[in-house]
Amino acid sequence: MSDSAQLIDITFPDGTIRSFPSGTTGYDVAHSISPGLARNALSITFNDEILDLSRALTSSGYIKINTWDTEDGKSTFWHSSAHLLAEAVQELYPGTKFAIGPSIEQGFYYDLDFGDVTVSKEDLPKIEDKMMELARNKSEFIRKELPKADAVAYYTEKNDPYKLDLLEGLEDGSISFYTQGNFTDLCRGPHIPKTDIVKAIKLLNVAGAYWRGDSSKKQLTRIYGISFPKKTMLDEFLVMMEEAKKRDHKKLGKELGIYMLDPMVGSGLPIWLPNGTILRRTLEAFLRDEQVKRGYQEVITPHIANLNLYRTSGHYPYYADSQYDPIKVDDEEYMLKPMNCPHHHKIFANKMRSYKELPIRLSEFGTVYRYEQSGELNGLSRVRGFTQDDAHIYCTHDQLKSEIKNCIDLTQYVFSIFDMPVDIRLSFRDENEDKYGGNMEYWERAQRELREVADELGLDYTIAPGEASFYGPKIDFIIRDAIGRKWQLGTVQVDYVMPERFDLTYVGSDNAKHRPVIIHRAPFGSMERFTSILIEHFAGNFPVWLSPVQVAILPISDLYNELAVKYADTLKSHGIRVHLDTRSEQIGAKIRESETNKIPYMLILGQKEFETGNVSVRRHKFGDIGTFAFDEYLNILLEEIREYKIPPKVNQ
């Protein structure tokens, strides 16, 4: 074999290509860049697959070195911490059966069957201490591959039903295991090199979780945790957790009259209260106005449809587990709407379309219904009935890139209004063909086009194999809120599948029929979830344009009520939402109540204001900000609303 045949080409994120001997490990590549990078490396991403640093590379490809500062690095770190949790449980609670232990967006969990033993939150410090003790052993994470038959024999001997269940779904061939210390787990990896990289651990909660998410199966104990490579990072995280408690949308949503939940109405079915309705309608009006400027046409579709609609789209049975059971009506079956898109496809198909009409952009604030397990419901952020800011764009292949760029521009504009930085993720398919519809040629084309658009726009993005929708790849927008938490919100999806399923066509310039391409797009995602994030992002201190009540007018005594009514009427005539407090209360009490209700502005009216025609203005969280002529203040207020200004940063 020639020397050249023994070399592989490794392409780095900056486009640099270097040759290495076949069999070079990720650690070797990192060390060739710098010893410091090798020390900090946790894993590598090679051709979009995350691998151990010790894995030998035998083919050419693209590489990223994953440190703590990358999402893939954190995922590797937290996955390894889940194994450390399992090892600690194995020592403290012999006989425990182990289900699954993945990394999640913030930390990790492990689902465990403790048998007759009850483990509660009070037991977590003991498990934490054992985890840290084991971490200090500097155990290596060692990968081993076995034939499936040997893996089955191993877990049959251990009498572990959960691992045997997992093995049933794996293809014959080599099955990977990882061992650290005295713990061995069925796992595809990857893992960090050694346990002592984990320097700080906090176990956060204990919850119940059905095996495979199936309520007919055994309920396991799920332990959630988070870990860090530095103790100071944990300290910062705990401070953030305390801040998050203050911002909890369930607490603030109740205090501010945003929404309510009632068991007689049904779990996961929120009712928007007057203040919440103003908030939601204001958000909708903001996006609706922007969409009109960008050529969208709004539609309204029913909350229920014939089951055959969802059979055609493939949502049934693909998502059968998250949908409500069909309803018998006469001789037909109907279903509560789980998705808006099939309805929009029927609108497109309602008449013959010409290429001259395209692109057609249909938008809807459409309410959908999906079954969520009761244990996963969470205020407004996880519900069973929610409204999506859905839009579907039907365009030609030549228009596709331009339309994707327009969708990205709209989504980035929306989040900039709320001062939310955005990270971009390209969610592509993985090798599990059962998860996806359509043919591979369309998928490859759609994924290539999304990547080309991202590159042409100069977006800084990551690629997430396996995160695609069943009908197409997508761009996911992950926003960061005021305290640094990340939330996946808006999406832009390219769809070559639904035009085939619904036989959608348009007549081209050649007078022949052609398939359109569909873009699915939703900046907010869910109005409920987005509102829950907004409440926490602003800690309830909404920008003036969004606040349910924008100005409180507070006369010092009944002598100034007539003037207060005059000013209130003037503000209302300009569309300002006003609370007029003419109660015979001390002004201090009125101010305190307005502060508690987080009303952005308070106008104080007394003798001086009566004589001068001025108003004394207080700003929520800031106190007195000065005296203004009423017309001057009105102009300032209207400009702040018109320009969607964000409130000044304060210690909230």
Catalytic residue annotation = 341, 370, 388, 390, 392, 474, 520
Distance CA 391, CA 364 (A): 6
DSSP string, 362-377: EEEEEEEE----GGG-
Is the preceding omega at residue 359 within 30 degrees of 0, hence cis? Answer: yes
Which residues have a Cβ under 8 Å from the Cβ of 48 and sit 6 or more positions away? 62, 428, 463, 465
Tokens of 592: 């305190």
Distance CA 234, CA 145 (A): 35
Instruction: Give the full edge-to-edge strand order of the sheet including 551-555.
Output: 578-580, 551-555, 601-605, 614-619, 623-629
Nearest to 436 by CA among 472, 474, 392: 472
HSE, side-chain direction, 13 A CA sphere, residue 206: 16
Tokens of 498: 């639904």
Distance CA 396, CA 393 (A): 10
DSSP string, 531-548: HHHHHHHTTT---TTT-S
Amino acid at 556: I
Distance CA 412, CA 449 (A): 19
Nearest to 533 by CA among 380, 341, 343: 380
The dihedral sign for the CA sequence 231, 234, 238, 240: positive
Question: Cα dist. 255→94, 381, 382, 482 in Å?
Answer: 46, 17, 19, 20
Q: Are 394 and 516 in contact (CB under 8 A)?
A: yes
Which residues have a Cβ under 8 Å from the Cβ of 236 and sit 6 or more positions away? none
Q: Are 447 and 400 in contact (CB under 8 A)?
A: no
**DSSP strand pairing (7-11 vs 61-66):** parallel
Q: Are 152 and 167 in contact (CB under 8 A)?
A: yes
Packing angle, helices 274-293 and 400-417, rounded to 10: 140
